[in-house]
Amino acid sequence: MAMFSVTTQDFDKTVLEASAPVLVEFTAPWCGYCRRLAPVLQRMSADEGMLPIAAVNIDEEPALAERFKVDTIPTLLVFRGGSHGPALVAPATAAQIKEWLASQEV
């Protein structure tokens, strides 16, 4: 499944009310590290069995960043059943992301 963007208007329905877990990346276009991480997440999103990956642009959706207490980007959160587990901030590799996902049993 390809990555997709979410906004304040569709976040609850698309992420919180989703029937399966959703990985959400909080990002911004000016963030150099976010731009380096984007291709990694794009490749991961194409993997069979990978959960959907949504992106929140914190410049356009500051209320979402505030709501989920995101103060460093990129920050990754997995949402399941309306809530999220521990954050992964500025992951260095795809392997680190996969290990973090496995620790959350997704």
User: pLDDT per position in the chain (106 positions), as tens?
Assistant: 679 999 999 999 999 999 999 999 999 999 999 999 999 999 999 988 889 999 999 999 999 999 999 999 999 999 999 999 999 999 988 999 999 999 988 7
Distance CA 34, CA 91 (A): 10
SS3 106: coil
pLDDT for res 92: 87
The predicted pLDDT at position 106 comes to 73
Burial class (CB in 10 A: 0-12, 13-18, 19+), 44: middle
Locate all alpha helices (DSSP H) within 1-106, ordered by sequence: 8-11, 32-46, 62-67, 94-103
| 60 counts as catalytic | no
- Domain ranges for the chain, please list them: 4-80
> What pLDDT sits at residue 43?
93
The answer to whether residue 84 is catalytic is: no
Catalytic one among 31, 37, 78, 88? 31
What is residue 83's three-state secondary structure?
strand
What is the spatial distance between Cα 90 and Cα 10, in angstroms, rounded to a whole number? 25
Which residues are CB-contacts of 37 (< 8 A; sequence separation ≥ 6)? 25, 27, 74, 91
Please state the pTM of the whole predicted model: 0.95
CATH topology assigned to domain 4-80: Glutaredoxin (3.40.30)
pLDDT of 18: 95
Q: Which of 24, 34, 53, 55 is catalytic?
A: 34
